[in-house]
Structures are given as C-alpha cells and as structure tokens.
Homo-oligomer: A and B are copies of this chain.
C-alpha cells in the first residue's frame, strides 16, 4: 500500500510505502530535516507539524510523549523519526527542524554559508512502462522529478551522454534511480538506486603551483586537498614566458594546455583515490587562475593578453562540459571557470574577493595576494579597486642568489643580533624541540628573504636606501665576486651545498623592487580612493601565512597598519573556489564582483614612478610608519 505525503513549505510530495516513517520519507523526497542522531529516536530534533488527520500516522510513541511539550503535542507536533505513515499526510517542517547544511571553511576568517551546490541529487521511483502508459524514458523521469521536486525547471534537459545510458540504467535499477541535476535544469547523471555520492573539486591553477580541494557536495565537507607543481614550468617560469612559448611554437598552446589538463587529471585521480571515491562521482570542477593560465587551460590563444591593451578573449565565467577540454570526471560533468577581471588580474583574484568579501565591510581593507604575480585590492562596500603589481618572483625565492622554494632545507626565519651582527636561522624541517637532528641549510625561501633583509636593516647592516653600510666591520660582511657587498647568512660548513649562503646586494635590490611594486600599487589605489590609511591588511596566498608580519611592515611591503589588523588567510583563491563550488550564489557574486571591481592600470598612472621610487626605501622615503616607529627608532645610526 502506498500513500501520498507532502512536505511543506518545500512543496515536495511523493508516494511512500505504508509503515515508512516521516524522516525516511523526507530523505527520499530530498527534504532536509535536522536529525543529528541519524533517525535513531534519540536527539528529538526532527520535530514536524502534521496538517492532516493524526489517524493517518502511527500513534504517539513513548519517546514523543517524553520529548514534546504539552503545547507542541496540542499543536500536532510529531517527531519525524517516530511517526509512521498509514494514510495520506501533509507535513509542515518548522524552521528550527529544517536541515540547513552549513559550510565552514578553514581560512583566516570564519566563513560560514549555506550549502547550495549547483549539483543536487534526487531520488525517484518510476512506474514501469505499460501499453497504456507508454511514455518515453526521459519523459517518465522528467515527470517524476517535476511531480516531486518543485525546484526542478519544467524545461529540464538531459545531457546527451547520460541519455545514451538512460534506458539501461532505468531497467537495471528496477526503475529506482538517483538523478544528479545541474542547476535544476539539466540531468547530468543517473545512477541506480538510492545514492548520496556527489563530489566536486575546487582548483586554483597557479603559475607555479596547482592546489585542489575535493569536496562532498552532499555534506559540504572538504574531504581532502592536494597540490602539485604546475608542469608548465618546463615551458617557462612566468606568464610572459608561457605566452612567448605559445607564440614561438606552432603546437605551443596545445602542449601547454595538455600539460595543465594532465596535471588536473592527476590531481583528480590522486584525490579521488585517497578519498576512496570514483572519479565518475565528481560532477563539477571550479577553476580559478590568472588570465593567462585561464586562457591556456581553455586552449585560447593568450597572445593578446601579453601586450597593450592586454585584451582577454572572455571575461565572464566560462561553463563547459569537462569532456570538452579532456578532464576526466563524470561524463556529464561540468567545468566552471570563475570570471576574470582584466589584464593579468584573473579569476583567482575574483576568488580571493568572494572569499574575503571586502565589499561587504565598512573598514578599508587592503588585500595582497602574492603569487608569481602580485594582485592587490583596496576598498570597502563603497567600491573596490584592484591592480596587478609586477613584483617579480623574488618572494618565491627566485632571482635570489640562494633562493629556493619553501621545502626542507630552506631558511624560513632569520634574526640578526643588532650588536654582534650574528644571525640566528630556522630551517624548514628542523624541529626545534627535537635537539637530536640538525637539518643543514640548502637555501633561503621567501619568508626567509623578507626576514633577512628586514633584520639586516634593523641591525643597521643595510641602510634605508638598501645599500650596505660599509662602515660596519664583521666577518660576515664582505665583498662578493661581483665586487658588491654581501652578508654571509650561513657558513659553508653548516650547509648541504658546501658554499656560504649569502644575502647579496642584488638580492636586496630584488626585494626592494618587489616590495616597492606592491607598496606603490597600494598607494595608487589609496589615492584613487581618496584615503590615506588602511584599516586592515589581508595577506592572501600560502606565502602570506609564513612571513613575519612585523618584518614585512619594517620592509615597507604595505602601508602602515596596526599589526593586529594584519591577517594571513592562506590560499584565499582556493577558498573562494571552494565557496563557489559549494554555494552557487557565490558564482553570481563573482560575476557581479568581476564587473564592479575597478581595475587600475597602476603603471599608467602619472605618479606611479614617484611612488615607486619612494617605496624603494626601507620602509619608505617619506611615509610614516607609526605602528613600528619604536622598532625603527632602535636601528643603530652609523
């Protein structure tokens, strides 16, 4: 015997078998009712209100009499896990019982939002076709979806590849299937029986590193994350050299595209393998990247982004079947690329913005995302300006004599005694509490470089103009092979490379250029906003999490700010991609942001040269730094 049950206010209705409880019925109909105990008649959270004759349900159980208040009993409340169905019934699910899954992301700030993925699963049981009911398979499935789930678009379509399998899947499953629907408008998978496996992947395709996050679209959980080197580095370290490669080689674009597609497929395989799930259950990938990585991944000629006026082929979000670009997930699955801004400022910056939401705040926030390119954003709810800064790769350890990536053996922390001028270093892999093992230094990574230059400045070894103070006598300060001064950070004997690891004058200049680019960019944006101080600074990018905020300010990487309001948020681009994956409203937000953020071509501003020149000084030629003045005051004057 079957009865009709309707859940309000969702409006979902369907047939259920006699004796089934309301909680089971709600799950089959895709209605979320809170039941932390999983329907074990324990938690008492699954309260619902019955709008029909109570005689159509099993009598009140002991458990319900205990949990429900007299007022609730009088108001026809029941526990969904206890009330069994023996007649047609209309159920109202009150606000507090509605299962509103929240996504909470581990990032610099606590981001909590509703789980609202583009892909949802719907379970339906169909009547078998007969000579009287000879509807086609698709119409049968569509009718069932439309009759049970009001959110489904009445013109819902089915992916061609999924259609091919539909007749067999329906019959092999005994006409009970779970349907994956994209944006409630297209069936992108049909699986036999009741199924709750739906996954998505957020990918941040950086010029150097690709980071990916595998998420459960049903629970909102991040199951695993992984990253790898972008194998395009074989064809060039930065976006300009990648563009050149595409221009100089007939098959350059094809090679570069295949490289990044292979990388993404590798990550998909690795992550689904480690999470023990099928790649076929991955229904969507959100991609964020800078504009050049975006174009190459989509196999669009990136040449015109590389020269004035830096025109991209398409800025709005691109949604394309994964199979169209060779990414191996579910056959009907989608790739969604967040929209890009302008020039080199890409979807990754848009992702940072939707993760940090400066446009929802009153305080004037400066967001610095330091990757192989530096992007900065400045503003608040009144408007956001963004710019691209040619920092060069110094902060990633490149173009530094002993620079290296952040890996075992890299010097990540430096202190220099202002009196003895002797350094104290921390090497990645060296567990300070474990005095047994000593990891020898191999080179210096970005955070170490920032520390080193700032510490040399604080110790008076480097002057405000970046030049070495030649009057200081120390065995560590000497002239290098190029005749210029250098500071020996580690003697050869304490290294794995058998050479003295030094900070050269050239290294200092590279850091000055990089930080001046960021600072000048920020200053231009502040001037455009008519604002002369920043309320808070957000350091995005993995790199931002490792640097010493105080030393960064001493260097003058960003304008003066209370250090308590300087936060590192890790890979905010990745967080933004995850948010867009788990809540499709964030994609609309991304479109709005990409359109409304005003891109400033800082290098084209008349005062850029002046600002850049002033920012070359440590911390700055003119601007005051009240929040670190006490440190600057202690610098030995020579």
- Asked if A311 is an interface residue, CB under 8 A from chain B, the answer is yes
- Asked if A1 is an interface residue, CB under 8 A from chain B, the answer is no
Asked whether B129 lies within 8 Å of A163 as measured between CB atoms, the reply is: no
A153-B131 Cα distance, complex, nearest whole Å: 42
Asked whether B163 lies within 8 Å of A314 as measured between CB atoms, the reply is: yes
Q: What residues of B have a CB within 8 angstroms of the CB of A309 in the complex?
A: 129-131, 133-134
Asked whether B316 lies within 8 Å of A167 as measured between CB atoms, the reply is: no
Q: What residues of B have a CB within 8 angstroms of the CB of A160 in the complex?
A: 298, 318, 320, 324-325
Mark interface residues in A376-418 (1 if CB within 8 Å of B CB, else 0).
Answer: 0000000000000000000000000000000000000000000
- Asked if A168 is an interface residue, CB under 8 A from chain B, the answer is yes
Q: Which of B134, B168, B312, B604 contacts A137 (CB 8 A)?
A: B312
A340-B139 Cα distance, complex, nearest whole Å: 12
A222-B604 Cα distance, complex, nearest whole Å: 57
Query: Which of chain B's residues has its CB closest to A342's CB?
Result: B134
Asked whether A311 lies within 8 Å of B136 as measured between CB atoms, the reply is: yes
A residues 310-361 near B (Cβ < 8 Å) are 310-316, 318, 320, 324-325, 340, 342-343
> Closest CB-CB distance, A484 to chain B, in whole Å?
38
Asked whether A604 lies within 8 Å of B311 as measured between CB atoms, the reply is: no
A298-B166 Cα distance, complex, nearest whole Å: 13
Query: Which of chain B's residues has its CB closest to A321's CB?
Result: B160
Asked whether B315 lies within 8 Å of A138 as measured between CB atoms, the reply is: yes
Asked whether B134 lies within 8 Å of A314 as measured between CB atoms, the reply is: no
Q: What residues of B have a CB within 8 angstroms of the CB of A139 in the complex?
A: 314-316
Asked whether B163 lies within 8 Å of A315 as measured between CB atoms, the reply is: no
Q: What residues of B have a CB within 8 angstroms of the CB of A300 in the complex?
A: 163-164, 166-167
Q: What residues of B have a CB within 8 angstroms of the CB of A491 in the complex?
A: none
Q: What residues of B have a CB within 8 angstroms of the CB of A158 in the complex?
A: 314
- Asked if A304 is an interface residue, CB under 8 A from chain B, the answer is yes
> Closest CB-CB distance, A416 to chain B, in whole Å?
44
Asked whether B138 lies within 8 Å of A311 as measured between CB atoms, the reply is: no
Q: What residues of B have a CB within 8 angstroms of the CB of A315 in the complex?
A: 135-136, 138-139
Asked whether A304 lies within 8 Å of B167 as measured between CB atoms, the reply is: yes
Mark interface residues in A129-153 (1 if CB within 8 Å of B CB, else 0).
Answer: 1110111111100000000000000
Knowing A129-B311, A160-B320, A298-B164 touch, does A304 contact B171 (C-beta < 8 A)?
A: yes
A→B interface (CB under 8 Å): 129-131, 133-139, 158, 160, 163-164, 166-168, 171, 298-301, 303-304, 308-316, 318, 320, 324-325, 340, 342-343, 599, 601, 604
Interchain Cβ contacts under 8 Å between A and B, 25 examples: A129-B309, A131-B604, A134-B343, A135-B315, A136-B313, A136-B314, A137-B304, A137-B311, A137-B313, A137-B314, A138-B314, A138-B316, A139-B314, A139-B315, A139-B316, A160-B324, A160-B325, A164-B299, A164-B300, A166-B300, A166-B314, A167-B300, A167-B303, A167-B304, A167-B313
Closest 4 pairs between A and B when the two form their complex, measured CB to CB:
A138-B314, A136-B315, A129-B311, A136-B312
8 further interface pairs, Cβ-Cβ under 8 Å (given A129-B309, A136-B314, A137-B313): A136-B316, A137-B311, A138-B316, A139-B314, A166-B313, A167-B300, A167-B304, A168-B301
